[in-house]
Structure 1
Amino acid sequence: MNRDFIYSDTPVSHTLRRRDIAARHPEVRALNGRNIGSAAWIVGMVAVQWLVAAQMPAADGWLLVAVAFLFGAFINHALYVMIHECTHSLVFASNTLNRMFAILCDFALVLPSAMGFRKFHLHHHRYLGQYDMDPDIVSHREAKLIGNASWRKAAWIALLPVSQALRPMKLKATHGVALWDAWTVGNLLAVIAVNVAIWQFLGAAALGYLALSTLFALGLHPLGGRWIQEHHVTQEGQDTYSYYGPLNKVCFNMGYHNEHHDFPGVPWNRLPRLREIAPESYENLKSYDSWVGVLRHFIFTPSMSGYSRIVHPSTVPAGAAPAAATQEE
């Protein structure tokens, strides 16, 4: 049974690989930029979810759950990917527009997550693998709660939205990273107003459908394998893993995770091209072609747990304030 993380003094590979690829293939620099077409996808997906939600008051309970699992989860997961694109300023040049469209994604997600994600995801990139500063790493308390038992790991994945919502508290406790600002408050108020409007005009079943779609998108669902795939260690010394399976087609290539960490300024539609340009940099890294297989391995392999993460030495001295993360990280 794992009782602690995997500690390593070796630097995270992404910076070195980015420099190596840029030196051997200078044409990759042209892949950086923005995809304003993502804005149309955001508007369209939110509209589709509202249209489907409007049909739910006439559906029985099991049909509502089935539609949320088989359809809504894919849309809401894709909206989380669009929040991710906005976080890295890969949609508009304006940070204000990126923030506004990220909040628009939340209008079908029920949870006011866009601005919190923006703040803490950029820390994840800057401080990848550093226990105190990477909000993607579970706390010791959470890792011990997850344990190695299959039922505990399955329950944790099913409730992953709760875990992800609480995890940034670790940064507040260790380095005083502020959880609230004007944008996060505005995000909260806007989503509350939209949720109330959906309840009033479309009904409780419509809001329930959207909430279940989010629960499945982030939890015990084929899409849930993404959260394990990205950084849980199954190859000694490898921090990050990519997924090249068919579900990339419905999640805007989010599986190209090594590529994204290497070049976070490349929008989703150009990530496959990055791998085509520099195949020698990615073909020897372990990757996956099945998120269901990733979930199965994590849940039923006793050695896999919340501790299956590589932790690197912190670059922030104890008690010091961390450097501000930016969208270029």
Structure 2
Amino acid sequence: PGIVRLAVHGGLVVVLGALITARIPFWPIIMLPQGILIVFFFTLLHETIHETAFRTAWLNRAIATVTGFLILLPPVWFRYFHFAHHRHTHDPDNDPELMSPKPETIAQYLRYLSGLPYWIGMARVTVVNAAGRNRDGFVPEKGRDKVISEARWFLIAYAVLLVASLVAQSALLLWVWIVPVLVGQPLLRAYLLAEHALCPHVANMLENTRTTFTTRLVRFVAWNMPYHSEHHSYPAVPFHRLPRFHQIVAEHLRTTERGYVRFHRKLVGSFDRRGG
């Protein structure tokens, strides 16, 4: 199932990239779906660091590297970050996801959705790691050399692509990759907010994590991660088994929502508008 979904997801990115390159009529509009597909490689990256996307470890690592490179999220560092998130889900004192607070005003909400904090934050993380100054508590000492090396290789590769584009006087990567991920990132930010925002700060994974009922299309591009409470409760369950697993545990879920629009209405309604 992983190979098939990768072929479809990646194939769509290639096809849309080719249409943008060919400058077909209204080609700038295609950059939005292109960007959505690329930034939602985040959910594939997430599956690969759990090693549940594919059967072989080397393929999980390879795809993690490629997808992480495309969205500026070094996978070795992210694996340590994400596993700490699983160990301390929604714990205000220990969950690294809560180091950056969730939006509480309209202004914070719009800034978060813009994706700007993500890009600035990950650029800073990558540069700090490459400089050998990583001090993240969730990164073990034995893993720091890998985190440093990974960041350096990422920066070298980005620099090579930039220089090559300048020498070739080509804006190809700008239109098929850079601009698309910038315009697509807000959709990923909106999706990710629903995973834990407004959930209670308790230890129960069926309560501190939200499952959002949505369309097949969203479940496809998100690699079934809208079944997020199920994933947090039993992270070893691979993405393609989550729909069936949901049927087994559905009656035990404590935090669910019927769609992302409904979630965001509730989230915005919870804001102190005086601070917005």
2: CA distance, partners of 1:167 / 1:121? 15
Taking the aligned partners of 1:36 and 1:85, their CA distance within structure 2 comes to 13
- What is the root-mean-square deviation in Å for CA atoms of aligned residues? 3.6
Of residues 262, 266, 274, the one that matches 2:237 is 266
Fraction of identical pairs, as percent: 23
1:186 aligns with 153
Aligned to 1:175, the other structure's residue is in SS state: coil
SS of equivalent to 1:218: helix
Query: What letter is aligned with 2:105?
Result: A
- Alpha-carbon distance between aligned partners in 2 of 1:200 and 1:55, rounded to the nearest angstrom: 21
**1:77 and 2:46 aligned:** no
**1:136 shift after superposition:** 1.1
Write out aligned runs for 1:281-320 (5 A): 281-282=252-253, 285-303=254-272
Q: Any unmatched runs of 5+ in structure 1? A: 1-33, 305-329
- Look up the SS of the partner of 2:235 in the other structure: coil
Equivalent in the alignment of 2:87: 126
- Within the candidate set 98, 101, 119, 1:162 is matched to 119
Gap runs ≥5 in structure 2: 129-133
Match of 2:95, SS state, is coil
Q: Deviations along 1:254-300, whole A, 9 cap, x unmatched? A: 21100111111122111010011233222xx2312222332343235
Judge conservation of contact 1:42–1:104 (CA < 8 Å) in 2.
no
Contact 1:259–1:274 (Cα < 8 Å) also in 2:
yes
* CA pair 173-295 structure 1, distance change in 2 beyond 3 A: farther
Alignment match, 2:131: none
Distance 1:228 1:122, change over 3 A: same
Alignment of 1:38-57 (within 5 A): 38-41=5-8, 43-55=10-22
Matches within 5 A, 1:1-329: 35-41=2-8, 43-55=10-22, 64=28, 66-69=29-32, 71-106=33-68, 109=70, 111-131=72-92, 133-139=94-100, 148-158=104-114, 159-162=116-119, 165=122, 172-173=134-135, 175=137, 177=139, 178=144, 180-194=147-161, 203-204=170-171, 206-219=173-186, 221=187, 223-234=188-199, 238-246=207-215, 247-282=218-253, 285-303=254-272
Instruction: State the TM-score, normalized to the length of structure 1.
Output: 0.64
Please report how far the alpha carbon of residue 187 of structure 1 lies from its aligned counterpart in structure 2 after TM superposition.
3.8
Q: Distance in 1 between matches of 2:121 and 2:260?
A: 19
Q: CA deviation at 1:194?
A: 4.7
Distance 1:117 1:54 in 2: 32
Code of the aligned partner of 2:83 = L
Identify the structure with bigger relative contact order (alpha carbons < 8 Å, sequence gap 6+): 1
CA contact (8 A) 1:99 1:115 kept: no
Given residue 256 of structure 1, which amino acid in structure 2 is its aligned partner? Y
- Contact residue 76 and residue 147 of structure 2 kept, 8 A: no
Asked if the contact 2:80–2:138 (Cα under 8 Å) also holds between the matched residues in 1, the reply is no
Indicate the structure with greater helix content.
2
